[in-house]
């Protein structure tokens, strides 16, 4: 409806512009970009996009999108499946590449070489069926935050395995509570039934050597002893070193508990570092960041996260839109975003940059986590990823809640993945 009116307006307006001649070409295209609006994100995006517009003689408009990422995904799906040209450049989550691939323009020719200078896991993730669907903008990976002061006070080293973490958390929680700090908890993470729980579960299971539920050739591998052990370990935390309320915690809720000084350990994304080190933070200078622990026979696994920029296939100004993506993902802009907003660059070279490291000393610590991050099974699941992730978080939520034993939860998960595979004709 709206589009129809606009086309009508264009049809009437176009002859007028042509009659005016000359300035029509010089005015350039109007590129609309949908970028995130969490914290400083929107300001950084707008400033950089407007700088590009001034340099190139085009115009940009920022499209407001919902903060909740599942709402944003629904909006994108509705816009793209109706082949709308309302958004030219989209900021997409790392797991959406496969789901939105058919609606996105191929950037291989223009930006392929640049993506090759980024983290390989991200580059692989954004190449869907030999088509480069998006350019990584910033990277995320799950990390373990710990209270340096408390570990030193009770003479512990930072944990390397989940068993060590459990022991240290229980001991410090007990001692602190006896000392009168009765709101102290050992470990907080994201246990709410949503995408964040899928990341946490993947990290536990993968670091126990239990795979990623769906192997790279789409075999369903959910049911195995390591996965059961990992889920049992996680379920044992609830009510002992982790508050019952974790079942409703997202990133911000768990940061709330940790940053007010009421938790020894926290699993979160790197953004929490800058906030925990803020001027008004009660735990300023008392926090350390390390890689997540691992199981008895596995290796530390951090869920790969982050956001990419993609160009809609239905954009009427593809050249200009690609140029905007080129500018926004350039070393110059990524460096600025790293220094001003602590967004982790995707260009590997920037981790050697002195100014970047000076602004964010923990980047050097995080680098290995980024390099070894484990992608969620998004590549294998492709367009079905949301379904797969929903099945993962729903069944493991039952385990954390104590409604199901790990074995029966993984049985249910296998059954649901079977159903998804049947509908997607994966065999």
Partner 1 sequence: MSAASPLERSRGRSAWLFLAPMLLVLALVAAWPLGRTIWFSLTNATLVDLSSYDLIGLGNYLAYEDGRWYGIFTDPQWLRALWNTLVFAAVSVSLETVLGVMIALIVNANLPGRGLMRAAMLVPWAIPTVVSAKIWAWMLNDQFGIVNAMLLSAGLVEGPIAWLGGSDLAMASIIAVDVWKTTPFVALLVLAALQTLPREIYEAAKVDGIHPVRVFFQVTLPLIRPALAVAVIFRLLDAMRMFDLVYVMTGSNEETMTLSVFARQALVSFQDVGYGSAASSGLFLIIALITVIYIMALKPLGEGQKA
Residues 83-122: x where in contact with partner 1 by CB under 8 A, - otherwise, as a string:
----------------x-xxx-------------------
Residues 11-50: x where in contact with partner 1 by CB under 8 A, - otherwise, as a string:
----------------------------------------
* Neighbouring C-beta atoms of residue 118, cutoff 10 Å: 22
The rounded distance, in Å, linking the Cα atoms of 332 and 177 is: 49
Residues 182-221: x where in contact with partner 1 by CB under 8 A, - otherwise, as a string:
-----------x----------------------------
Whole-number minimum distance, CB 204 to partner 1, in Å?
22
Nearer CB in complex with partner 1: 21/427: 427
**Which is it for strands 185-188 and 263-268: parallel, antiparallel or unpaired?**
parallel
**Which is it for strands 131-132 and 304-311: parallel, antiparallel or unpaired?**
unpaired
Q: Which of 247, 274, 331, 405 binds partner 1 (CB under 8 A)?
A: 247
Applying CB under 8 A, the span of 74-82, 183-191, 230-238, 330-338 interacting with partner 1 comes to 74-82
Q: What angle do CA 346, 86, 37 make, to 5 degrees?
A: 45
Mention every residue, 6+ apart, whose C-beta is less than 8 A from residue 272.
Answer: 145, 251, 255, 258, 259, 266
Nearer CB in complex with partner 1: 149/415: 415
Q: Is 77 in the site for partner 1 (CB under 8 A)?
A: yes
Q: Is 248 in the site for partner 1 (CB under 8 A)?
A: yes
Residues 378-407: x where in contact with partner 1 by CB under 8 A, - otherwise, as a string:
-----xx-xx--x---x-------------
Mention every residue, 6+ apart, whose C-beta is less than 8 A from residue 364.
Answer: 351, 357
Residues in the chain, how many? 427
Q: Are 254 and 246 within 8 A, CB to CB?
A: yes
Q: Taking Cα atoms as reference points, which of 220, 203, 205, 217 lies closest to residue 380?
A: 217
Q: Are 426 and 218 within 8 A, CB to CB?
A: yes
Residues 406-425: x where in contact with partner 1 by CB under 8 A, - otherwise, as a string:
------x--xx-xx--xx-x
Residues that contact partner 1, how many (by CB under 8 A) = 27
The rounded distance, in Å, linking the Cα atoms of 319 and 56 is: 12
Q: Are 28 and 56 within 8 A, CB to CB?
A: yes
Nearer CB in complex with partner 1: 92/373: 92
Contacting residues toward partner 1, per CB under 8 A: 70, 73-74, 77-78, 81, 99, 101-103, 193, 247-248, 383-384, 386-387, 390, 394, 412, 415-416, 418-419, 422-423, 425
């Amino acid at each position: 409806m709206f589009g129809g009116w606009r086309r009508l307006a264009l049809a009437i307006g176009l002859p007028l512009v042509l009659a005016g001649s000359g300035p029509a070409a010089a005015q350039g295209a109007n590129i609309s970009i949908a970028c995130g609006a969490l914290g400083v994100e929107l300001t950084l995006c707008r400033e950089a996009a407007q700088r590009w517009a001034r340099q190139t003689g085009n115009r940009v408009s920022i499209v407001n999108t919902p903060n909740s990422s599942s709402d944003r995904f629904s909006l994108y799906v509705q816009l793209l499946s109706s082949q709308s040209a309302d958004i030219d450049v989209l900021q997409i989550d790392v797991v959406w590449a496969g789901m939105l691939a058919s609606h996105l323009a191929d950037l291989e020719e223009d930006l392929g070489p640049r993506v090759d200078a980024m983290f390989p896991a991200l580059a692989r993730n954004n190449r869907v069926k030999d088509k480069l669907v998006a350019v990584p903008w910033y990277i995320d990976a799950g990390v373990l935050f710990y209270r340096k002061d408390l570990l030193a006070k009770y003479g512990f080293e930072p944990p390397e395995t989940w068993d060590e973490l459990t022991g240290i958390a229980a001991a410090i929680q007990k001692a602190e509570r006896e000392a009168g700090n009765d709101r102290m908890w050992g470990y907080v993470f994201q246990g709410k039934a949503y995408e964040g729980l899928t990341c946490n579960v993947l990290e536990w299971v993968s670091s126990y050597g239990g795979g990623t539920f769906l192997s790279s050739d789409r075999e369903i591998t959910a049911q195995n002893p390591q996965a059961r052990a990992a889920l049992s370990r996680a379920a044992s935390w609830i009510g002992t070193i982790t508050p019952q309320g974790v079942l409703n915690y997202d990133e911000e809720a768990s940061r709330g508990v940790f940053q007010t000084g009421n938790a020894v350990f926290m699993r979160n994304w790197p953004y929490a570092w800058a906030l925990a080190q803020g001027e008004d933070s009660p735990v300023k200078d008392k926090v350390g960041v390390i890689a997540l622990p691992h199981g008895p026979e596995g290796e530390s696994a951090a869920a790969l996260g982050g956001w990419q920029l993609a160009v809609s296939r239905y954009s009427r100004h593809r050249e200009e839109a690609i140029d905007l993506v080129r500018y926004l993902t350039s070393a110059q802009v990524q460096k600025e975003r790293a220094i001003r907003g602590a967004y982790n660059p995707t260009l590997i070279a920037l981790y050697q940059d002195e100014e970047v490291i000076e602004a964010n000393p923990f980047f050097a610590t995080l680098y290995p986590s980024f390099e070894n991050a484990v992608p969620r099974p998004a590549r294998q699941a492709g367009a079905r990823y949301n379904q797969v992730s929903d099945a993962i978080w729903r069944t493991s939520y039952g385990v954390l809640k104590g409604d199901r034993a790990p074995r029966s939860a993984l049985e249910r998960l296998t059954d649901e993945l079977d159903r998804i595979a049947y509908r997607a004709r994966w065999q």
